[in-house]
Amino acid sequence: MSVPLDDGMVVYEGDPPVRVERVSSVEEGDLATVRRLELGSHTGTHVDAPAHFIAGGAGVDELPLDALVGEAAVVDLSAHAGDLDAAALRGRRVPCDGERVLLKTRNADLWDAGGFRPDYVGVTEDGARELVGRGVRLLGIDYLSIAPSGDPVPAHRVLLEAGVVILEGLDLRAAAEGPHELVCLPLRLRGGDGAPARALLRPLSGERSLRRSFGMTVHGRLLAANRPRRF
């Protein structure tokens, strides 16, 4: 699910390059091996916080933890060639009231392209409104931005203003369409506009599969109401 962090890895156009430098090494006689990391807050698999596009918006350390952990639906849209507008999303089995939706697209092939590709598949503004209307709380996609490269602001703002957590830079090549259990833990960067995350995905068995509404049971909602919502 998470792409590995590596020196010189692909980043969104204009973002800081990734530098991974070894500053000490036990092989060279040092007491310990340590590396220095230089990277942007939207490197690799990462989460967008409202502060990314909204002045005064919440930081990544203020995101609700229960939106980042729980049942998720992988929706396979890899046969769709263009950006994902409302019509494209309505034409597929994108769940209603799906709390967490991960979009698997033809972007999977771009991870091996050797550099940033602006022709990736994104979600348009009206596509974002469609998903907000369906009750999505977390939306993930398999490249470095949820929105098309030519018009990145509108879809981001629609989602973030509605309180949707955006998870970008997923590697969904091995993920089958259907219900899964998602664990996504971004770095707790105080006031951060975003942060790299380790995301884990595990298929759910038939008896634990998502209900049609992809909601929680009443018992689950009571548990969620009493667990800490910030991290």
Q: Per-residue confidence of the chain (231 residues) as pLDDT tens digits? A: 999 999 999 999 999 999 999 999 999 999 999 999 999 999 999 999 999 999 999 999 999 999 999 999 999 999 998 999 999 998 777 776 669 999 999 999 899 988 999 999 999 999 999 999 999 999 999 999 999 999 999 999 999 999 999 999 999 999 999 999 999 999 999 999 999 999 999 999 754 554 443 333 323 433 344 344 444
Examine residue 19 and state whether it is found in any structural domain, yes or no.
Answer: no
pTM here? 0.88
Examine residue 28 and state whether it is found in any structural domain, yes or no.
Answer: no
The parent domain of residue 67 ranges over 42-226
Examine residue 75 and state whether it is found in any structural domain, yes or no.
Answer: yes
The domain that contains 214 carries what CATH number? 3.50.30.50
Closest CA to 213 of 144, 109, 108, 134: 134
Residues 100, 105, 111, 116: is their CA dihedral positive or negative?
negative
Given the structure tokens 């990734």, which residue do they identify? Answer: 18
What is the pLDDT, as a whole number, of residue 96? 64
Examine residue 23 and state whether it is found in any structural domain, yes or no.
Answer: no
What is the pLDDT, as a whole number, of residue 206? 59
Examine residue 25 and state whether it is found in any structural domain, yes or no.
Answer: no
Closest CA to 146 of 165, 173, 162: 165
52 labelled catalytic: yes
Examine residue 74 and state whether it is found in any structural domain, yes or no.
Answer: yes
Examine residue 92 and state whether it is found in any structural domain, yes or no.
Answer: yes
User: Which residue of the set 42, 46, 52, 156 is catalytic?
Assistant: 52
Specify the number of domains making up the chain.
Answer: 1
Residues 45, 75, 113, 128: is their CA dihedral positive or negative?
negative
